[in-house]
Structure 1
């Protein structure tokens, strides 16, 4: 299936971070792009987001890396290391020389700011909101026709594309239509609160604290505020009347500055959600002229902070393949071949570390702490480098940062 001589066209389903990253990359390689977003307006919810070097290098290829840096704070991976609720250190910080040699710094910014940087890189009219995709029909001669419902007019519309990118999240309707027998993401067993503390902590190094089936992480933001997240083992669908009060109950007696951060967070701004992952891999990330991307392809736990990072990687790899390969089928096959092994490795690594750090019970916590004490620091650093010391392919016209 080869593209015609005229400018090729892509339709991206979903205007989250993965979908917008892909749209930015496709525009850069000369494609016409339409993004169909089901929500009535573009509004990325969320507190903060951290990007390891692999994601920031990918954003450089998309041409938005410097904008993102200007809106971000930078910290060492893992910050000051891992502590227990009393404040006693469980794991030392990463070796600065190792971090420098592998370029493994972490960039932290409010999630809406990353979303805004990507939107600003797109031409006007590229994103259609209130557009609910109702069907994807693959064409025998190549390409596809998407049907969608326009919320403004309630009319059914269609758009043709040489490539469809399904970036519509873990509950992807596109994935279900392409792989109706494939496994769905499953609940990971834990849930996350997130918030931004309205307090000035200019010297915040960041760090994590592991308790009994609990974890608390904190990171700096460029304006001095503090982004935090709190993880708990929980039953799926558990909801509480006051999430801010619940986080304070569980973490408010932990070591400084955790209580300060929680009390300085507006109660209405505390977010809570269950975490889902793919327990079984999809058989492929592509079908005909459609590519699955981000959580639609490889939903993972939050334990390594790689969900959005891997979606951004997906975007650059897909766009690079489409820029090099004139045959769409060959380009999508290349994308699938490159992305499935890496994302599967990260899904499994994230699951393993989550099960370790969220152990419960006195014996479970003692065993976990003993494992951490016996683990050489270099082992953890090498594991981090396998993820963060990754370089994206070069998009045409881009010079690697």
Structure 2
């Protein structure tokens, strides 16, 4: 085994939160090292809807316009009952002055990750680097990697997803299963799909599905349901996934069926929907000393308000700003302090910076997790009363909750 030089900031996970944090720090003149366990960016074949709060974050790190050029702006949210086949609400995204400037686009995950990674200095991301153990080493953290190497770092950030090793080290409870699964994919149309630029959603009989155009030739779709014990096995067979979705759509437009048919079998992704108990975010340790978590490692949530990726982008901007304040460039210059005093001073500044991040993100995470769970429960319910209220009175209300969640502004960065 060998111990390498001390890194200023080590980020575990080259996902949305990890790369956003790294890019934000880079823009402010601070270096970081991103450790990714896989051998490349994990850009599976689906997309995600980015709401206005996500575009503010993307603008803060300087890549918003680059992604805008590649993806449609959506006009509104159209909800249809799969029982009657009739639309129950249509919410224009920019009609309400309260949400003026509400920009919504469906962005391919691969395009987002590549945009985040492209401006990072060479060597920032180290692939095939799996963390197996975290140890204390005075004011530093010792990271043991699967290949036997050891890294020392002044700051450790866990952006390593739902099963985060950093979250476990902090003592956070494991995320819990919501009882629902999702299947997602992207339909590809060589000649163009011809869909209107709207977010189409369909629900009824305990199923929920959606259809969102990304660009002229790509359409993102999703399907969620509460599986029986037998249905959980379909995740192992993508042909079965496809057939299951097609046979349970209900009364939906032909465009949704076409999108599923136009999705390569290898791109079907099935996963259980998990979330962190919101009170665990409020009262649990999401930071300790020079360690914190962000993204899905902090606030895994169900996808019902489309804020998982958006919140990860927010996290990255806020975290980069807090760390840049704690680790100004001047801190690396020579000083008259003894080495021990200098290390203690730096550790305390880092600690306060991460505590500031935690304070800013705690309630925001609590609100998003809780809202997503509530919306998912109402949309997925098979009860007659809830179904009647949802289809006749609550569709616009639920769409409004999405717009309210997207009104958040994570602020700007002082990019050098």
Give the TM-score, by structure 1 length.
Answer: 0.88
Aligned to 2:334: none
CA shift digits 1:223-279 (9 cap, x unpaired)? 332111111112578121311111111127533322222222223322111111112
Aligned to 2:100: 102
CA shift digits 1:181-209 (9 cap, x unpaired)? x3211111111111112232233323101
> Per the alignment, in what secondary structure is the counterpart of residue 209 of structure 2?
strand
**What are the residue-to-residue correspondences of 1:202-241 with 2, within 5 Å?**
202-204=194-196, 205-235=198-228, 238-240=232-234, 241=237
The count of corresponding residues between Structure 1 and Structure 2 is 379
Q: Indicate conservation of the 8 Å contact 2:21/2:320, yes or no.
A: yes
Does residue 188 of structure 1 match 2:178? yes
Alpha-carbon distance in structure 2 between the residues aligned to 1:238 and 1:244: 14
Alpha-carbon distance in structure 2 between the residues aligned to 1:163 and 1:26: 13
Aligned to 2:305: 304
Give the root-mean-square deviation of aligned CA atoms. 2.3
Q: Indicate conservation of the 8 Å contact 1:252/1:259, yes or no.
A: no
The offset of 1:40, in angstroms, is 2.3
Alpha-carbon distance in structure 1 between the residues aligned to 2:307 and 2:273: 13
Does residue 330 of structure 1 match 2:352? yes
Does residue 159 of structure 1 match 2:151? yes
- Once the two structures are overlaid, the 10-residue window that deviates more, 203-212 or 255-264, is 255-264
Alpha-carbon distance in structure 2 between the residues aligned to 1:85 and 1:321: 49
The offset of 1:317, in angstroms, is 0.6
Change (3 A) 1:313 1:343: same
**What are the residue-to-residue correspondences of 1:14-163 with 2, within 5 Å?**
14-78=13-77, 80-94=78-92, 96-98=94-96, 101-140=99-138, 142-150=139-147, 156-163=148-155
Change (3 A) 1:234 1:226: same
Q: Indicate conservation of the 8 Å contact 2:99/2:403, yes or no.
A: no
The offset of 1:365, in angstroms, is 4.1
Change (3 A) 1:77 1:162: farther
Give the TM-score, by structure 2 length.
Answer: 0.85
Change (3 A) 1:123 1:359: same
Alpha-carbon distance in structure 2 between the residues aligned to 1:296 and 1:139: 23
Structure 2: gaps (5+ residues): 1-5, 328-348
Change (3 A) 1:224 1:234: same
The offset of 1:396, in angstroms, is 0.9
Alpha-carbon distance in structure 2 between the residues aligned to 1:380 and 1:42: 34
Q: 2:271 aligns with which of 261, 270, 273?
A: 273
Alpha-carbon distance in structure 1 between the residues aligned to 2:261 and 2:250: 8
Q: Indicate conservation of the 8 Å contact 1:11/1:163, yes or no.
A: yes
Change (3 A) 1:139 1:221: same
Aligned to 1:386: 404
Q: 2:249 aligns with which of 248, 251, 255?
A: 251
Aligned to 2:389: 370
The offset of 1:123, in angstroms, is 0.9
Change (3 A) 1:368 1:253: closer
Does residue 314 of structure 1 match 2:307? no
Would you identify which runs of 4 or more consecutive aligned residues in structure 1 move more than 6 Å?
none
> Per the alignment, in what secondary structure is the counterpart of residue 395 of structure 1?
coil
The offset of 1:325, in angstroms, is 3.6
Aligned to 1:352: 374
Q: Indicate conservation of the 8 Å contact 2:132/2:145, yes or no.
A: yes
Alpha-carbon distance in structure 1 between the residues aligned to 2:253 and 2:103: 25
Aligned to 1:3: none
CA shift digits 1:104-158 (9 cap, x unpaired)? 2211121111111111021111111111112222343x332222133xxxxx222
Q: Indicate conservation of the 8 Å contact 2:167/2:286, yes or no.
A: no
The offset of 1:375, in angstroms, is 4.1
Q: Indicate conservation of the 8 Å contact 2:133/2:143, yes or no.
A: yes
Change (3 A) 1:193 1:134: same
Aligned to 1:153: none
Q: Indicate conservation of the 8 Å contact 1:86/1:254, yes or no.
A: no
